[in-house]
Amino acid sequence: MNFTKIYLQNGREEAIRRFHPWVFSGAVARMEGQPQDGDVVEVVTKKGEYLATGHFHDGSIMVRIFSFRQVTPDTAYWTEKLAGIRRIREAVVPADTDCYRLVHGEGDGCSGLIIDLYNGVAVIQAHSIGMHRERAFITEALKNVYGSTLKAVYDKSAETLPENYAAEVQNGYRYGNTPTPHPVQENGRTFLVDWITGQKTGFFLDQRDNRKLLADYAAGKKVLNAFCYSGGFSVYALQAGAAEVHSVDVSQKAIDLTNRNVAANFPESVPHEAFAEDVMKYLKAHDHQYDVVILDPPAYAKNMSARHRAVQGYKRLNAEGLRRVAKGGILFTFSCSQVVDRELFYNTVVAAAIEAGRQVRVLHHLSQPADHPVSLFHPEGGYLKGLVLWVE
């Protein structure tokens, strides 16, 4: 099949030769014809030498690459691609876990595409028009790769696509139909997932390893899980034998999710209380001291223009969190803001510790798990960063 060609300026092909998955508009010399948003295009040198295949979008990122060899993205192509990615997941996902990220955008050579697996249900989330237009092929490929173990495929892209295009998009099942909430297993713990009404694709899979690490510190301790969402850290702390767990989130819906997941794992009474309160107000209003505090807020900044305000927010949050940690206690603190890099986040937590007047040791530097891989050539994919701190 002949695809529209995007010609690069002289000297601008080196990033693509180094397998960077984005072509910026400033690197483009000319185009054949007038490609439309979402069209499959081939990226070539100024002399016409083939470099890569991707999806076109008339914006600052003009092409999102999904292949560095000439291909036709049909069912056969996507079946081969997803089968290869699944083999990697089988090597890195724990045996007692049936929920994981199958496709992590650029980290898996699929710029603009997320697919999460929840105990036989695939939830697709397209972040580009081009990937959304591939959804029929991708659905068939998932059926080919997973066979009879695939119960359903749900498209949840309306919230993540460009606004004008998304106005015509509706979320819904592309294959099968599974009632929610749907039970999954993560490291042997049970969680109930609702991809229809829940945040993102239904569950924050990227904290799996960090939740498991928390369990090592929770036995016999008083634990605060702030921004608890569906209570993942709370469940791990309780199963590890925490003496007391408080879960806090401004959303009553999140608190209901947390209580539901606690009940799914502990039919008997456990030392857990959940509070639908603003986290900062909760931290300031209570002088309760905790042995372990978890701060896992939503992204404070989604673009560079909001970065300064986000840094100030992280500083205030961590200063208050540190004040709630008992002497000799532990703070787990995270940022999922992509524009706040690891060094900036570290320095912000340093500033918070100074403001709180606490001496702090770093025990662990945390990141996302192996089913959220980062391409060596696209470090921007490493969005989750965290610290485990010993607080004097």
Residues serving a catalytic function are 336
CA gap 367, 279 in Å, rounded: 23
Q: Which residues, in sequence order, are bridge partners of residue 146?
A: none
Q: Are 101 and 371 in contact (CB under 8 A)?
A: yes
Give the three-state DSSP class for 73: coil
CA gap 81, 148 in Å, rounded: 19
Q: Go through 348-363 and write b for each residue having 16 or more CB atoms within 10 A of its CB, e for each that does not.
A: bbebbbeebebebeee
Query: What are the helix (H) ranges across 24-148?
Result: 75-92, 129-133, 135-146
β-strands 152-155, 113-118: how paired?
unpaired
Q: What number of other Cβ atoms are within 10 A of residue 161's Cβ?
A: 21
DSSP 25-43: GGGEEEESS-PPTT-EEEE
Closest by alpha carbon to 245, among 264, 231, 265? 231
Q: Are 319 and 352 in contact (CB under 8 A)?
A: yes
Rounded alpha-carbon distances, angstroms, from residue 143 to 174, 176, 214, 379: 11, 11, 36, 31
Q: Go through 16-52 and write b for each residue having 16 or more CB atoms within 10 A of its CB, e for each that does not.
A: beeebbbbeeebbeeeeeebebbbbbbbbbeeeeebb
CA gap 165, 118 in Å, rounded: 27
* H or E stretch at 121: strand 121-126
* H or E stretch at 262: helix 252-265
Q: Are 271 and 241 in contact (CB under 8 A)?
A: no
